[in-house]
Amino acid sequence: MKETKITAAAVYRNGCMIKRTGKVLLQAGSQQIRLEGLSASVDESSLRLAVPAGVSGSNVQVEHPTREQQQEALKELNQKLANLQNQIQSKEKLAALWESNADFSQKESLSIEEMTAYLEKLPERLDGISRELTALKEEKDAVSKELSEARKKAALPFVTAELSADAAGEYPVELTYRDYQAFWNPVYEIHTEEDAGSLQLRLRARIAQNTGEDWENVALTLFTGNPSVSGTIPELNSSHIRFYVPAPVVKRKAAPMLGAAMMMGARPAEDTAMAECAMADEACAPMAAMNTVYAGGGTTSKGETMTEYALSGVWDIRNSQEILCDIRADLLSCRYHVVAVPKLSEEAYLAAEVKTADLEDLQGTPAAVYLKGAFAGNVVLEPDMTKDSYDLSLGVDESVKVKRVQKKRHTSQVLLKGQKKTEYEYELTVSSRKEKEVSVTVSDQIPVSDEKTIQVDVSNISGAVREEDTGLLHWTFPLAAGQTKTLTLAYSVAWPKDKQTEEIEVRV
């Protein structure tokens, strides 16, 4: 029987691959070995045993200890606990006896000198017994805790295998298997200074494991993939279209529900194949498999189907513990400016304009924003990949205020053209309370006509850049410290006078 120790773990978004190492003392020839240390949640079908050159193996099996084997493993600790309990009871009886003997009402034969000597000795004796009881109870608690851990350990599965060595000696062995009681999630943080022309996009990993044992000095590698998700390529079946013919209505008695086993059907062929080869002789891989590096010097590499993050150093993760570690930090070029959409909000937003190509893998990803080290809120990255740049919101900028006021809305009839016409005018003001100049981008819109008989004429947009297809307007300008800038937006909408206004969809 030989203990093994976790030395490396490859953690996926759901589950992990664990590597355990140990050494076995082998005699020349064939013999059976037993390796302990598997977790209770081991995926038995994934177990592999690696042995070095000069050793061959077969008949690799995962076994579970019987009740008798568990009791035998705990026999010594149970006996030790029982002995301590007996000693505690004996000390408690002794203390009670000393106290009861201090009652001299039924002992007329004792002299005053004898009673006085007993009473003088009693506190010291009781104090000594109390100290002995405290030590015994502390030892009992320690043994009880040790027994509890040993009980869990005794119930764990173990591996048996037939190994054949060319020569006697001590040989290293490795066990690898999958365990679903571990995972990691990416945590993105955006760190900005506003005064610089860049921001830092930091990727961190929140790693948790609940495998039933502590990981100590373990090399960690993180993979972005999820092995539990099927990798089977979907196939299209033929699609047919025909005239609909209503089915005749037939009344019949309700049939009893089919059993769950009939509904589930047979297991997929690939699952059966995996189960059949799980503990096959070829599970004893050559020693070359042991040379695989599970975690390196904090490197990132992209494979064909997933990205691998090899964390530097070794890590300690207790059972049921969650840790947070840094993976990488990218410096992205950006342009800081204030963005305002006064038609929708009176708030102005500090934004960092970045290249959408820098965020192409982060669509729909939440991120925490830190502005000059202070937490500024959470955002969801949703770059439009059809555009070259993306305004990454860094939160509300309280030092810039915007306001949109409607100055005019007048409807009249154009007699010669048989039209009705409504004129609109809005005033947009942007005020800065900053101590320095800032670049501001203001967006608004004018309606776009979907009908030839609806005419939209623009009379004043204060030099805005206009998108003809969408009607969106954009102003970009510098705003000095303490400055207020006013923009004017004016346009008119005309439509046939014989049309009811509710029949016209004018997007304002």
Q: What is the 3-state secondary structure (H, E, C) of 59-125?
A: EEEEECCCHHHHHHHHHHHHHHHHHHHHHHHHHHHHHHHHHHCCCCCCCCCCCHHHHHHHHHHHHHH
Q: What is the pLDDT of residue 92?
A: 92
| pLDDT higher than threshold 70 for residue 286 | no
Query: What is the pLDDT confidence band of residue 197, given thresholds at 50, 70 and 90?
Result: confident
Mean pLDDT check: name the lowest of 181-190, 221-230, 389-398, 412-421: 221-230
Strand 42-50 and strand 284-285: the pairing is parallel
Residue with tokens 């945590």: 187
DSSP of 340-367: E-TTT-SEEEEEEEEEGGGGTT-TTEEE
Q: Other CB atoms closer than 10 Å to residue 320's CB: what's the count?
A: 12
Work out the average pLDDT over 112-122: 84
Structure token digits, residue 456: 């939209």
Structure token digits, residue 486: 């006013």
Cα–Cα distance measured from residue 190 to residue 193, given in angstroms and rounded to the nearest whole number: 10
Q: DSSP code of 279?
A: T
Q: What is the pLDDT of residue 244?
A: 58
Q: Is there a contact between 332 and 193 (Cβ–Cβ < 8 Å)?
A: no
Q: What is the pLDDT of residue 287?
A: 40
Work out the average pLDDT over 423-447: 94
Cα–Cα distance measured from residue 397 to residue 376, given in angstroms and rounded to the nearest whole number: 10
Identity of residue 132 = E
The angle that helices 67-100 and 112-154 make with each other, rounded to 10 degrees, is 170
Q: Is there a contact between 188 and 368 (Cβ–Cβ < 8 Å)?
A: yes
| pLDDT higher than threshold 80 for residue 220 | yes
- Domain ranges in the chain are 68-154, 334-503
Q: What is the pLDDT of residue 184?
A: 95
Cα–Cα distance measured from residue 159 to residue 38, given in angstroms and rounded to the nearest whole number: 8
**C-alpha 266: how far from chain center:** 34
Mean pLDDT check: name the lowest of 50-54, 77-81, 360-364: 360-364
pLDDT tens string 479-499: 999 999 999 999 999 888 877
Q: What is the pLDDT of residue 290?
A: 35
Burial of 326 (0-12, 13-18, 19+ CB in 10 A): middle
Structure token digits, residue 164: 């054949």
Cα–Cα distance measured from residue 437 to residue 371, given in angstroms and rounded to the nearest whole number: 18
| pLDDT higher than threshold 80 for residue 439 | yes
Work out the average pLDDT over 311-320: 93
pLDDT tens string 299-309: 666 655 688 99
Q: Provide the percentage of residues in the chain whose pLDDT is more than 70.
A: 81
Q: How many CA atoms lie within 13 A of 461 on its CB side?
A: 21
Q: What is the pLDDT of residue 161?
A: 92
Q: Is there a contact between 67 and 180 (Cβ–Cβ < 8 Å)?
A: no
Q: Is there a contact between 88 and 137 (Cβ–Cβ < 8 Å)?
A: yes
pLDDT tens string 332-378: 999 999 999 999 998 999 999 999 999 988 888 999 999 888 898 89
Identity of residue 58 = S
